[in-house]
C-alpha cells in the first residue's frame, strides 16, 4: 500500500474493469466516473488533501459518510442521487477488495452504509388520446418534422430506451414481410422488437428520404442532427419536450407536466398491460432482466385506478504506466475519459 494505489485502482476500474470486464455502457461508466470525481473534490475541498496524497487507506466508512453528507448539504443532491453515488463507491471498493484482499475489512465497513429511503415518483405516461395529440404536433411538411414524427412514434412503438434509439443504425432494421428492429440494451443485450405496419410505412419513407437504405449507410445513425451526428439524450428529450409543450396548449389535461423519452417507454408498457398482455411478454418486449421491474406497471395501473376512484368520490361527496501517470491530475484524466 502506497500513495500510488488510489490513482492506479481508479484508472483501472474506470478504463478496464467497468467497460471490458463488466461490459457496462459508456453512460454507466461516466456515472461511476462522476461519483469518484466528486469524492476526490470532497477530499480536496473538505479534507484539505492534496490529490497526490490521496490513498485508498484514507477512505474509510466515516469518510464516505461525511462525503454523502457533503453531497446533500453543499451540493443539494437528492436522496436518489446520494444513493447512486454511494452505489458507485461501493462498486469501486468491491473491485479494490478483489484486487487486494488486504482491503476486505475496509470494503465490509463501506458496504454496511445503508441507502436512504426515497419517495417513489408517480410514473409519467400518456393515455392513448394524449399520445394521438402529441403525434399531431410535428409539421410533416418539413423534413425535420417528418423525422421527429418517425422518432417519437418509433420510441413509443418499440418501447425503446433513449440510448437504444441513439445507437440505432439502418443495419438493425428489417422492413420486409416480418419487420423488426434490433435494440442493443443494458449489458449489451440485443433484443428483436416487432414493428406494426403503420410504423413500417413511415419508417421506410424516412429511411428512403434520408438515403439510409443505401449499402454505404448501413452503420450511419438512423436519427441525426444537422451536422449528421447522432442525436444525444438531451437532443431527443428536447424534441419531445417541444412537441409536448405545443400539445399542452391544445389540451393540458392530456399531457403530463414532465414528458421524456422514458415516458413514451412507460406509455407503451402501460398500454400493453391495460390491454391484457402477459407480463412475461411485456418484460421481454422492454428488455427487463427481471420480471420484478416489469411488475411496477401493474402496481402503477392499480394505483392510478384507485386515485381515479378517490377523485370521483371527492366529487360526489364534495370533500378533499498507468494511464494516470500521463496526466498531472487524476481528476483531469477522469474528466477526459
Q: What are the pLDDT digits (tens) for 74-118?
A: 999 999 999 999 999 999 999 999 999 999 999 999 999 999 987
Residues 6+ apart with CB under 8 A from 231: 151, 165, 166, 221, 223, 224, 225, 239
Predicted pLDDT of residue 42: 97
Domain boundaries, the chain: 5-119+326-335, 128-278
Reported as a single tens digit per residue, the pLDDT across 139-192 is 999 999 999 999 999 999 999 999 999 999 999 999 888 899 999 887 778 899
Nearest to 27 by CA among 289, 329, 233: 233
| Residues forming a β-bridge with 180 | 174, 194
Query: Quick check: 262 and 269 in contact, CB under 8 A?
Result: no
- Determine the pLDDT at residue 59: 94
- Summary mean pLDDT of the chain: 87
**Residue 307 pLDDT more than 60?**
no
Does the pLDDT at position 123 exceed 90?
A: no
How many alpha carbons fall within 13 Å on the CB side of residue 39?
A: 31
Rounded to a whole number, what is the distance in angstroms from the first to the last CA of the chain? 25
CATH 1.10.443.10 fits 128-278, yes or no: yes
In this prediction, what percent of the chain has a pLDDT beyond 90?
Answer: 66
Give the 3-state secondary structure of residue 191.
strand
162 vs 336, which has greater pLDDT? 162
Distance CA 16, CA 29 (A): 10
Amino acid at each position: 500500500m502506497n500513495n500510488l494505489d488510489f490513482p492506479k485502482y481508479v484508472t483501472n476500474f474506470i478504463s478496464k474493469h467497468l467497460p471490458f470486464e463488466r461490459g457496462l455502457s459508456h453512460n454507466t461508466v461516466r456515472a461511476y466516473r462522476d461519483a469518484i470525481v466528486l469524492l476526490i473534490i470532497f477530499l480536496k475541498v473538505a479534507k484539505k488533501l492534496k490529490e497526490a496524497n490521496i490513498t485508498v487507506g484514507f477512505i474509510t466508512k466515516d469518510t464516505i459518510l461525511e462525503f454523502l453528507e457533503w453531497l446533500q448539504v453543499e451540493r443539494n443532491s437528492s436522496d436518489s442521487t446520494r444513493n447512486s453515488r454511494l452505489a458507485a463507491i461501493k462498486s469501486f471498493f468491491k473491485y479494490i477488495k478483489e484486487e487486494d484482499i488486504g482491503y476486505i475489512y475496509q470494503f465490509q465497513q463501506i458496504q454496511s452504509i445503508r441507502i436512504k429511503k426515497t419517495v417513489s415518483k408517480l410514473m409519467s405516461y400518456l393515455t392513448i388520446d394524449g399520445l394521438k395529440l402529441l403525434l399531431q404536433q410535428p409539421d410533416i411538411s418539413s423534413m425535420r418534422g417528418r423525422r421527429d414524427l418517425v422518432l417519437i412514434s418509433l420510441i413509443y412503438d418499440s418501447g425503446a430506451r433513449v440510448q437504444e434509439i441513439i445507437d440505432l443504425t439502418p443495419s438493425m432494421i428489417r422492413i420486409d414481410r416480418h419487420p423488426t428492429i434490433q435494440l442493443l440494451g443494458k449489458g449489451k443485450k440485443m433484443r428483436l422488437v416487432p414493428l406494426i405496419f403503420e410504423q413500417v410505412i413511415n419508417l421506410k419513407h424516412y429511411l428512403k428520404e434520408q438515403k439510409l437504405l443505401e449499402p454505404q449507410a448501413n452503420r450511419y445513425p438512423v436519427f441525426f442532427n444537422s451536422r449528421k451526428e447522432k442525436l444525444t439524450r438531451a437532443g431527443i428529450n428536447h424534441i419531445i419536450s417541444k412537441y409536448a409543450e405545443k400539445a399542452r396548449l391544445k389540451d393540458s389535461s392530456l399531457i403530463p407536466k414532465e414528458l421524456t423519452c422514458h415516458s413514451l417507454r412507460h406509455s407503451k408498457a402501460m398500454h400493453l398491460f391495460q390491454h391484457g398482455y402477459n407480463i412475461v411478454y411485456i418484460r421481454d418486449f422492454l428488455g427487463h432482466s427481471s420480471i420484478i421491474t416489469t411488475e411496477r406497471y401493474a402496481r402503477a395501473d392499480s394505483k392510478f385506478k384507485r386515485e381515479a376512484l378517490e377523485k370521483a368520490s371527492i366529487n360526489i361527496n364534495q370533500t378533499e504506466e498507468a494511464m494516470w501517470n500521463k496526466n498531472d491530475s487524476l481528476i483531469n484524466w477522469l474528466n477526459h475519459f
